[in-house]
A and B are shown apart, each in its own frame.
Chain A
Amino acid sequence: DAEITQSPRHKITETGRQVTLACHQTWNHNNMFWYRQDLGHGLRLIHYSYGVQDTNKGEVSDGYSVSRSNTEDLPLTLESAASSQTSVYFCASSESLLAGATNTGELFFGEGSRLTVL
């Protein structure tokens, strides 16, 4: 079965360190997204990509970067981790409208990566 996996599931790091969260999907979806989930804020969009070599900033992109070198992967990098980036991070993917009649509009989520920055 197709799936979307995130790693690591849990990470503790120190302020100032670089951290990369991996996201891998086997749905062959063009669209991929990174969200962070914080109490009282729901899910906020960090970065998103509509295809290989395409990346875009979301509403809370400061301090984060992504790259899309293939369809399956969209790693999220925190260049210099800050305590304010302690959160649960979710990767998601969806089929683009160009995919045609099978497009259901559904977002498929990974199980999340819990990051603690000390």
Chain B
Amino acid sequence: AQSVTQLGSHVSVSEGALVLLRCNYSSSVPPYLFWYVQYPNQGLQLLLKYTSAATLVKGINGFEAEFKKSETSFHLTKPSAHMSDAAEYFCAVSGYNFNKFYFGSGTKLNVKP
């Protein structure tokens, strides 16, 4: 069975600082991995995805994530946080045929001025 673990339900950084949100997956087969972002009172929207091409994936708003099979990780990073990055971030895993998605419990990112 597939599952996703996000370490840290809340992360707080200063504006301009590095953002690092952690995600580890458990999968019996090579998975597809996603990061979604949720702004207050909205649905989730795709930030980036890994589908077995390049292991370093670039997404929208300056975010990127690196797939590390040896560590079963897919951590999300951004070199310099902006106030507009404050949101909740979800890591998700899907099987080969995209017919089911499993989400982590989410990490709320707070950006301090």
Q: Mark each residue of chain B from 15 to 45: 1 if its CB lies under 8 Å from any CB of chain A, else 0.
A: 0000000000000000010101000011111
Q: Which of B94, B98, B103, B105 has the most CB of A within 10 A?
A: B98
Residues of A within 8 A of B97 (CB): 96-97
Q: Does A78 make an interface contact (CB < 8 A)?
A: no
Seed contacts A43-B44, A104-B49, A109-B43; 4 additional CB < 8 Å A-B pairs: A90-B43, A94-B98, A105-B98, A107-B92
> Which residues of B pack against A, CB within 8 Å?
6, 9, 32, 34, 36, 41-46, 49, 51, 90, 92, 94, 96-106
> Which residues of A pack against B, CB within 8 Å?
31, 33, 35, 40-45, 48, 50, 90, 92, 94-97, 103-107, 109-112
Q: Which of B34, B42, B43, B97 has the most CB of A within 10 A?
A: B43
Q: Which residue of B lies closest to A97 (CB)?
A: B97
Are A95 and B103 closer than 8 Å at their CB atoms?
no
Are A105 and B32 closer than 8 Å at their CB atoms?
yes
- Minimum CB–CB distance from B49 to chain A (whole Å) comes to 6
- Minimum CB–CB distance from A109 to chain B (whole Å) comes to 3
Residues of B within 8 A of A43 (CB): 44, 90, 103, 106
How distant is the Cα of A43 from the Cα of B102 in the complex, in angstroms? 8
Residues of A within 8 A of B9 (CB): 40
Are B49 and A105 closer than 8 Å at their CB atoms?
yes
How distant is the Cα of A94 from the Cα of B46 in the complex, in angstroms? 12
Known: A90-B44, A105-B32, A112-B43. A42 touches B98 (CB 8 A): no
Q: Which residue of A lies closest to B96 (CB)?
A: A97
Residues of A within 8 A of B34 (CB): 105-107
How distant is the Cα of A104 from the Cα of B51 in the complex, in angstroms? 9
- Minimum CB–CB distance from B112 to chain A (whole Å) comes to 22
Are B106 and A107 closer than 8 Å at their CB atoms?
no
Are B46 and A107 closer than 8 Å at their CB atoms?
yes
Q: What would 23 A/B residue contacts be, using CB atoms closer than 8 Å?
A: A41-B105, A42-B6, A42-B104, A43-B103, A50-B99, A92-B43, A92-B44, A92-B101, A94-B98, A95-B98, A96-B98, A96-B99, A97-B96, A97-B97, A103-B98, A105-B98, A106-B49, A107-B36, A107-B44, A109-B43, A110-B43, A111-B43, A112-B42
